[in-house]
């Protein structure tokens, strides 16, 4: 009987009932032992191995070991084959879900592109493939949505890509301010007023807790603080696209582009209301073009991220490039981010004492978060990686002030701005943005960190501008890409559950993704520091007459 004031019913029972259950269990076990005795079931004997007196014992053991290795390799190969077959089935399911009436020519065109790109993936530099896919997305789109992180909108704009869209002909460019719930409302309104003078701008907050279409989990997990089911700005973006389609009088294709980790795939999933595109904490999950039909007249195209130019500032490389940790090392990348942030607000946010330099801050943060090395000292590199992952993730609130005076971008002119505005109902867009800002529950100004933006981030859109990689880097990247291709779907679904069950934070996961070369460099630097610190007196201080136990 469930008691009225308690949440759960009591598990207490009478002694008579408990003893009765125990008696039934004993009788059941006795019955099973009797049946096993009748069948003549015997315990399996333990393998004693090869006796020492047997001839060629070493050869026999070696053959047994080789046989065991072959069986393990065969099992691993079968597992990989099963994963590939599952991926093919998933792709067939997604393709069958597309309506064949209007999507047949689009599917044929992009299907051929995907097969060609997969065949070339092993030979070409992946960055060059990203450039090719990005160009195809821009060429195939009538409207291009450039997704910006509301915490640093100016740093998420790429002048080279915007110039290519303007030169592409009759294409519309729309800015989407995503992650708008991580900045104060006043700052969001200031950025909206600044950006809408140049291009149509939509305030958006993507839903990050959508169910996967193919994988339905029975266990209901509680969403974390950064997992939100509410999508804000969806109606405004829908009305904007539908109005433009009605004005053109034909079906349109909408491309979604932007720098890594700004939420491009999350916006598509929010518009579709299901998890179709892969999303995750790690940067650069989307590698090829993916066509998603929103309705019979509007098709949305997801593409890879922009390639960041190595000529940018260290802060821009640390925030916008997935390979920034490989190039800059974690200490340098996190130090570059920390140098642009308000030190007083960083102290309050991370609850650490005042610090004089970045090394002291990472030491205090490691002690605060319990990040220790083998000997007990603070793990400074781990703390730097933690700061980098939180800053580029979707949970930390920080903001940038827009420029004091508005000036037209150098790759735009007044005629271009007028062409971009034409065809959209800007009055209705302004009302929808005002309604979205009211609906957003943004953080207070005092609880956010003031960050100094580094301005527009230069990108690479031409394949010839991409620097060639060393052969070792190519081999390492190829190995990681092959592994990620097999486990992308599994990681996207089980990422949150594994992080919670094992107690490993997203920062620790990204710390494991570090290349082996950087880890070797850190270890060698430590060894050199220890050896260099030993003087000749300390080296000769050992007394051979004393027996150390």
Among 435, 110, 504, 127, CA closest to 301: 110
Distance CA 127, CA 481 (A): 12
Answer for the pair 275, 213: CB distance below 8 angstroms, yes or no: yes
Residue position matching structure tokens 């933006």:
453
Q: What is the DSSP letter of 378?
A: B
Give residue 539's pLDDT: 44
pTM (two decimals): 0.61
Q: Which two tokens stand for residue 449?
A: 């960190």
Give residue-wise pLDDT tens across range 45-58.
777 778 888 888 88
- For residue 234, the Cα-to-chain-centroid distance in whole angstroms is 22
Burial class, 63, CB count within 10 angstroms (exposed 0-12 / middle 13-18 / buried 19+): exposed
How confident is the model at residue 223, as a pLDDT? 39
Residues 110 and 104: their CA atoms lie apart, in Å, by: 10
Structure tokens that stand for 251 in this block? 């079906």
- Of 359, 357, 385, 358, residue with least CA distance to 371: 385
Tell me, what's the pLDDT at 322? 63
- Distance (Å, rounded) from C-alpha 106 to C-alpha 102? 8
pLDDT tens-digit readout, 148-186: 999 999 999 999 999 889 887 788 999 999 999 899 999
Give the whole-angstrom CA distance, residue 334 versus residue 379.
14
What are the structure tokens assigned to 195, written together?
């950006």
Distances (CA, A) of 143 to 57, 243, 296, 374: 73, 12, 16, 54
Spatial separation of the C-alpha atoms in residues 440 and 190, rounded to whole Å: 15
Q: What's the pLDDT score for residue 282?
A: 59
Residue pLDDT, tens place only, 498-525: 444 444 444 444 444 344 444 444 444 4
Rounded to the nearest 10°, the torsion over CA 391, 392, 397, 403 is: 100
Helices (DSSP H) in 225-293: which residue ranges? 234-248, 264-272
Question: What per-residue confidence (pLDDT) applies to 260?
Answer: 87
pLDDT confidence of residue 101? 45
The candidate with the shortest Cα–Cα distance to 172, out of 253, 269, 289, 235, is 253
| Residue-by-residue DSSP string for 332-361 | HHHHHHHHTB-HHHHHHHHT----SSHHHH
Residue 124 is predicted with a pLDDT of 61
Query: How high is the pLDDT of residue 540?
Result: 46
State how far the Cα of 359 lies from the Cα of 373, in Å rounded to an integer: 16
- Name residues of the chain where pLDDT drops below 50: 99-110, 113, 115, 117-122, 214-227, 324-326, 470-472, 475-477, 479-481, 483-542, 544, 547-549
By the 8 A CB rule, do 396 and 388 touch? no
How do beta strands 252-257 and 201-203 pair? unpaired
Percentages (nearest 5) of helix, strand, coil residues in the chain: 55, 10, 35
């Amino acid at each position: 009987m469930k008691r009225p004031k308690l949440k759960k019913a009591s598990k207490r029972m009478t002694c008579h009932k408990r003893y009765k259950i125990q008696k039934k269990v004993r009788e059941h076990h006795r019955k099973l032992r009797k049946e096993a005795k009748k069948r003549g079931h015997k315990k399996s004997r333990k393998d004693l191995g090869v006796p020492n007196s047997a001839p060629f014992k070493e050869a026999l053991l070696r053959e047994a070991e080789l046989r065991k290795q072959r069986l393990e390799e065969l099992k691993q190969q079968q597992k990989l084959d099963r994963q590939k077959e599952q991926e093919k089935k998933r792709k067939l399911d997604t393709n069958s879900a597309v309506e064949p009436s209007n999507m047949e020519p689009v599917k044929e065109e992009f299907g051929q592109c995907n097969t060609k790109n997969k065949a070339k993936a092993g030979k070409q530099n992946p960055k060059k493939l990203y450039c090719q896919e990005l160009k195809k997305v821009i060429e195939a789109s009538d409207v291009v949505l450039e997704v910006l992180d509301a915490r640093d909108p100016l740093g998420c704009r790429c002048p080279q890509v915007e110039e290519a869209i303007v030169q592409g002909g009759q294409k519309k460019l729309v800015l989407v301010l995503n992650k708008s719930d991580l900045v104060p409302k006043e700052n969001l309104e200031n950025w909206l007023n600044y950006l809408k003078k140049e291009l149509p701008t939509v305030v958006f907050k993507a839903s990050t807790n959508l169910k996967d279409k193919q994988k339905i989990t029975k266990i209901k997990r509680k969403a974390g603080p950064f997992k939100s089911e509410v999508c804000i700005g969806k109606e405004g973006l829908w009305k904007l696209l539908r109005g433009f389609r009605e004005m053109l009088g034909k079906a349109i294709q909408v491309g979604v582009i932007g720098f890594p980790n700004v939420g491009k795939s999350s916006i598509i999933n929010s518009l579709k209301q299901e998890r179709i595109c892969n999303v995750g904490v790690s940067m650069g999950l989307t590698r090829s073009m993916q066509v998603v039909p929103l309705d019979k007249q509007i098709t949305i195209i997801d593409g890879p991220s922009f390639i960041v130019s190595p000529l940018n500032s260290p802060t821009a490389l640390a925030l916008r490039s997935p390979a920034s940790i490989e190039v800059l090392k974690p200490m340098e990348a996190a130090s570059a981010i920390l140098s642009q942030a308000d030190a007083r607000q960083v102290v309050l946010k991370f609850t650490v004492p005042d610090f004089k330099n970045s090394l002291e801050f990472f030491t205090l943060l490691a002690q605060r978060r319990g990040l220790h090395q083998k000997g007990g000292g603070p793990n400074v590199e781990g703390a730097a990686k933690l700061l980098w992952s939180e800053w580029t993730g979707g949970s930390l609130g920080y903001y940038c002030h827009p420029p004091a005076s508005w000036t037209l971008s150098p790759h735009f002119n007044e005629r271009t701005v007028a062409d971009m505005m034409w065809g959209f109902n800007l009055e209705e867009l302004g009302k929808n943005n005002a309604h979205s800002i009211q609906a957003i529950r943004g953080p207070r100004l005092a609880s956010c960190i003031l960050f100094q933006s580094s301005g527009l981030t230069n990108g690479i859109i031409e394949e010839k501008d991409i620097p060639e990689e060393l052969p070792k880097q190519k081999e390492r990247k190829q190995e990681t890409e092959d592994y990620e291709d097999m486990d992308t779907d599994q990681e996207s679904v089980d990422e949150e559950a594994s992080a919670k069950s094992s107690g490993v934070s997203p920062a620790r996961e990204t710390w494991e993704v570090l290349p082996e070369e950087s880890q070797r460099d850190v270890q060698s630097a430590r060894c050199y520091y220890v050896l260099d610190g030993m003087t000749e007196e300390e080296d000769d201080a050992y007394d051979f007459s004393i027996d150390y136990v």
